[in-house]
């Protein structure tokens, strides 16, 4: 029982970071119907950037997040303008899969050139410290990472529900044609939405680099997990993605602790198959377009 | 067969005749080596096209079945040790194809419950499942240590040739199946699914059956190519046998040549693979290679998403209809109006 609860705690903390990673992916899908296969590569890129800032300039990864996210937001907007906007609307959904995959390969290639293909890890002074609460270990890094994810997701929620921009985003997700008729600049919303998506990936990457060793090819593993999560949550549903991420984080940790660590990544695939059989549109998805 | 015109048959006879003569005309090993990979990708792209091009279901997980085929041959001829090697693995290929196709049926049935982006996600995930299996089923695959096949006892000077003809054989099988499907009732069903699945179902097309058959055929050929590849390479690792780059290479070639056409994937492969091998040679298969690959990929997707063959045939159709200097704005509508073989007005 002790092991089970410990695994649940670990899984919940990991799930929070998954939620941050998946939020951008599902948001980009909601706004543009674009599956960003490069999301995993963006996370790894974020991990490498914060790793570099930490090792070269001794900037703590939690501080570098504040510097990197605005920068990567702009990069995301630029990528959307150059690579995704030119795709014709009727082919965008399928072509964007391939275009973003090419982007992922490009990022992987670039990182391999710059950093070679060794495993890296951002090891801060508090990396192996943990608190003991009621006999359970709470790793400091993981708790901070979870906290940061909660803060960013809360900001994202406030942005989407309390601002004019958020309203235009939600309108676009619900129905881009009507949104356009009502005067929403859908192209602008799409570009900014993709920028936000990349920014969340960067933030998640900074903490990913502290809890997991990574190398330029790590993005494949990440993206397969994240895609399972957003399918489970329902494509385009932000709330669904968060719940699915927390659930998958815990399921994976419990599976690893109770059954087998080698097979724990299969938790994602088992759940994916189950959801396809029982509810192909995902927990909170609709048959047509996802709703935030 | 679709529009079995004299030029069509002639073109196929000439191309496959030339391919059969190729290793005798250019016996240099490095050339035949490149030719083997060219044929492999031509086969992969053609097989992918059968599902992705005809039915519009974009699979990103074909490398999973390539790996299954590769491991099937490797495991059969190492563990089970079906005496000797020689040409036997080649004779086992049809069996590999059939088994992979049958195994894929339940997978296809589950995966094809969803469409478009979700289908792509599911197939991509399938790829990672199979790769993980190859890593984890240690007693069968030797995990990350890799699995060695018995060395083929072929003469050194013509070592490449049996593999060349095996690749050519599977490629031809995939090609002619594709050709036949395109003109058959199955092809018609697949095209109707691509254009509007709900309406197709509404008018009584048995969409699930058609999709599952296309999926099984497509991955069956993919598995067979994987089998030949494994025997040729002789040493297989999970990360190379189930490599996302294999899928993406095949998809890219189908797009470059023109997906949904019979010849497109072949044209794409014949252009890209030699170029790719040359790039790998120039850039030393290093990290730069990945960057180069990604750039070519992006350029094709952004500037030629419809592919070479559709673009050329539109051009020809316009020429034949006597309006050679069509303004660019009319490009989209003109070919549609003159479609039936370019014979309109």
Q: Which value does ipTM take for this structure?
A: 0.83
**What are the tens digits of pLDDT across the range B19-58?**
888 888 888 888 888 899 999 999 999 999 999 889 988 8
State whether B116 and A93 contact (CB < 8 Å): yes
- Residue A291 inside a domain? The answer is no
Nearest CB partner across the interface for A231, out of B118, B293, B305: B118
Output the CA torsion sign for A236, A240, A242, A247: negative
Q: What span, in angstroms and rounded, lies between the C-alpha atoms of B93 and B99? A: 10
Question: What residues contact B332, with CB distance under 8 A and at least 6 apart?
Answer: none
- Min Cα–Cα distance to chain B from A89, Å: 13
Mean pLDDT of chain A: 85
Between residues 143 and 202 of chain A, which touch chain B (CB distance below 8 Å)? none
Nearest CB partner across the interface for A272, out of B125, B244, B255: B125
- Domain of residue A84 covers 8-219
How confident is residue A138, by pLDDT bands cut at 50, 70 and 90? confident
Preferred mutation among A97, A272, A274 to probe B, highest tally of B CBs within 10 A = A97
Token pair for B298:
């992006």
At residue A45, the pLDDT reads: 93
Question: What residues contact A132, with CB distance under 8 A and at least 6 apart?
Answer: A138
**Coil, strand or helix at A223:** helix
CB A225 within 8 A of CB A65: no
Length, in residues, of chain A: 292
At residue B25, the pLDDT reads: 85
Nearest CB partner across the interface for B125, out of A93, A110, A227: A227
Nearest CB partner across the interface for A265, out of B111, B132, B245: B132
- Min Cα–Cα distance to chain B from A208, Å: 20
Between residues 122 and 161 of chain B, which touch chain A (CB distance below 8 Å)? 122, 124-125, 127-129, 132, 136
CB A209 within 8 A of CB A61: yes
Token pair for A275:
């959801």
Length, in residues, of chain B: 345
| pLDDT > 70 fraction of chain A, expressed in percent and rounded | 97
- Residue A254 inside a domain? The answer is no
B316 close to A (CB below 8 A): no
Phi, psi of B160 (to 5 degrees): -70, -25
- Residue A267 inside a domain? The answer is no
Select the more confidently predicted residue: B332 or A71: A71
Q: What span, in angstroms and rounded, lies between the C-alpha atoms of A106 and B297? A: 10
- Residue A240 inside a domain? The answer is no
Mean pLDDT by 10 residues, chain B (345 residues): 72 87 84 90 94 89 92 81 68 87 90 82 87 84 80 78 90 92 89 88 88 93 92 86 87 88 90 83 70 84 82 83 53 38 34
CB B119 within 8 A of CB B125: no
**For residue B135, what is the nearest residue in chain A, using CA coordinates?**
A262
**Coil, strand or helix at B34:** helix
For A43, half-sphere exposure in the C-beta direction (CA atoms, 13 angstrom radius) is: 33
How many interchain CB pairs under 8 A, A with B? 116
Nearest CB partner across the interface for B125, out of A97, A224, A263: A224
Number of domains in chain A: 1
Q: What span, in angstroms and rounded, lies between the C-alpha atoms of B74 and A84? A: 41
Torsion of CA A86, A87, A89, A95, to 10 degrees: -160
Instruction: Over range A199-211, report the average pLDDT.
Output: 90
Give the containing element (helix H, strand E) for B236. Answer: strand B235-236
Q: What span, in angstroms and rounded, lies between the C-alpha atoms of A65 and A200? A: 10
- Residue A47 inside a domain? The answer is yes
A276 close to B (CB below 8 A): yes
- Residue A177 inside a domain? The answer is yes
> Please, what's the b/e burial string for B90-111 (b: 16 or more CB within 10 A of its CB; e: otherwise)?
bebbeebbebbbebbeebbeeb
**For residue A93, what is the nearest residue in chain B, using CA coordinates?**
B117
B107 close to A (CB below 8 A): no
Nearest CB partner across the interface for A91, out of B111, B128, B305: B305
At residue A145, the pLDDT reads: 87
How confident is residue A209, by pLDDT bands cut at 50, 70 and 90? confident
Phi, psi of A156 (to 5 degrees): -60, -40
At residue A86, the pLDDT reads: 83
State whether B124 and A227 contact (CB < 8 Å): yes
Q: What span, in angstroms and rounded, lies between the C-alpha atoms of A157 and A165? A: 12
Token pair for A147:
């906290």
Q: Is B327 left (phi over 0), alpha (psi -120 to 50) or beta?
A: beta
At residue B340, the pLDDT reads: 37
Q: Is B216 left (phi over 0), alpha (psi -120 to 50) or beta?
A: alpha
- Residue A156 inside a domain? The answer is yes
State whether B114 and A110 contact (CB < 8 Å): no
Token pair for A276:
């396809």
**Coil, strand or helix at A133:** strand
CB B23 within 8 A of CB B35: yes
Rounded to 10°, the helix B244-257/B264-282 angle is 130
Token pair for A274:
């189950």
- Min Cα–Cα distance to chain B from A175, Å: 18
- Chain B residues with CB-CB distance to A286 below 8 A: none
Instruction: Over range A233-252, report the average pLDDT.
Output: 88
Preferred mutation among A33, A89, A101 to probe B, highest tally of B CBs within 10 A = A101
**What are the tens digits of pLDDT across the range A225-238?**
898 898 888 888 88
- Residue A201 inside a domain? The answer is yes
**What beta strand segments (E) does chain A contain?**
130-133, 136-139
At residue B220, the pLDDT reads: 93
């Amino acid at each position: 029982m002790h092991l089970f609860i410990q695994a649940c705690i670990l899984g919940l903390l990991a799930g929070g970071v998954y939620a941050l990673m998946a939020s951008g992916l599902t948001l980009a899908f909601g706004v543009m119907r674009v599956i960003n296969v490069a999301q995993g590569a963006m996370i790894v890129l974020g991990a490498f950037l914060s790793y570099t800032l930490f090792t070269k300039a001794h900037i703590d990864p939690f501080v570098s997040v504040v510097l990197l996210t605005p920068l990567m937001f702009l990069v995301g907007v630029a990528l959307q303008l150059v690579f995704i906007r030119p795709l014709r609307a009727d082919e965008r959904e399928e072509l964007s899969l391939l275009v973003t995959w090419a982007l992922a390969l490009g990022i992987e290639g670039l990182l391999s050139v710059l950093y070679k293909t060794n495993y890296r890890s951002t090891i801060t002074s508090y990396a192996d410290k943990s608190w003991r609460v009621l006999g359970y270990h709470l790793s400091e890094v993981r708790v901070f990472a979870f906290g940061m994810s909660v803060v960013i997701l809360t900001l994202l929620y406030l942005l989407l529900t309390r601002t004019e921009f958020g309203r235009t985003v939600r309108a676009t997700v619900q129905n881009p044609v009507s949104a356009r008729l009502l005067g929403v600049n859908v192209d602008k919303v799409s570009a900014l939405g993709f920028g936000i998506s990349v920014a969340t990936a960067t933030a998640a990457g900074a903490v990913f680099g502290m809890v997991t060793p990574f190398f330029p090819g790590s993005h494949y593993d990440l993206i397969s997990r994240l895609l399972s999560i957003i399918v489970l949550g329902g494509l385009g549903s932000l709330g669904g993605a968060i719940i699915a991420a927390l659930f998958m984080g815990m399921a994976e940790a419990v599976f690893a602790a109770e059954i087998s660590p080698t097979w724990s990544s299969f938790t994602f695939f088992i759940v994916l198959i189950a959801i396809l059989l029982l509810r192909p549109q995902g927990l909170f998805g609709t048959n047509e377009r996802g709703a935030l | 067969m679709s529009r079995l015109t004299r030029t069509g048959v002639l073109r196929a006879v000439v191309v496959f005749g030339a391919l059969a003569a190729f290793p005798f005309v250019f016996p240099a090993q490095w050339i035949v080596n490149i030719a083997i990979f060219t044929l492999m990708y031509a086969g992969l792209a053609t097989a992918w096209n059968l599902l992705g091009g005809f039915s519009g279901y974009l699979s990103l997980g074909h490398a999973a079945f390539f790996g299954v085929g590769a491991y099937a041959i490797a495991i059969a001829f190492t563990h089970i040790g079906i005496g000797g090697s020689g040409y036997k693995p080649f004779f086992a290929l049809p069996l590999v194809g059939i088994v992979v196709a049958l195994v894929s049926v339940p997978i296809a049935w589950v995966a094809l419950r969803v469409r478009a982006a979700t289908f792509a996600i599911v197939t991509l995930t399938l790829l990672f499942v199979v790769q993980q299996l190859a890593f984890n089923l240690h007693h069968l695959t030797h995990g990350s240590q890799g699995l060695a096949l018995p060395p083929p006892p072929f003469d050194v000077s013509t070592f490449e040739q049996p593999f060349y003809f095996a690749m050519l054989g599977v490629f031809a099988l995939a090609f002619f199946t594709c050709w036949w499907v395109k003109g058959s009732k199955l092809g018609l069903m697949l095209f109707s699914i691509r254009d509007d699945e709900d309406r197709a179902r509404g008018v009584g097309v048995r969409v699930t059956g058609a999709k599952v058959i296309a999926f099984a055929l497509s991955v069956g050929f993919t598995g067979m190519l994987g089998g030949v590849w494994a025997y040729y390479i002789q040493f297989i690792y999970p990360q190379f046998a189930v490599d996302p780059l294999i899928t993406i290479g095949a998809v890219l070639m189908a797009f470059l040549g023109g997906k949904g056409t019979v010849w497109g994937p072949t044209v794409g492969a014949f252009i890209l693979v030699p170029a790719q091998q040359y790039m790998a040679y120039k850039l030393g298969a290093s990290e730069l290679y990945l960057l180069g690959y990604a750039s070519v990929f992006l350029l094709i997707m952004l500037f030629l998403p419809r592919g070479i063959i559709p673009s050329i045939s539109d051009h020809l159709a316009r020429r034949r209809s006597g309006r050679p200097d069509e303004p660019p704005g009319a490009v989209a509508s003109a070919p549609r109006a003159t479609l039936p073989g370019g014979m309109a007005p």
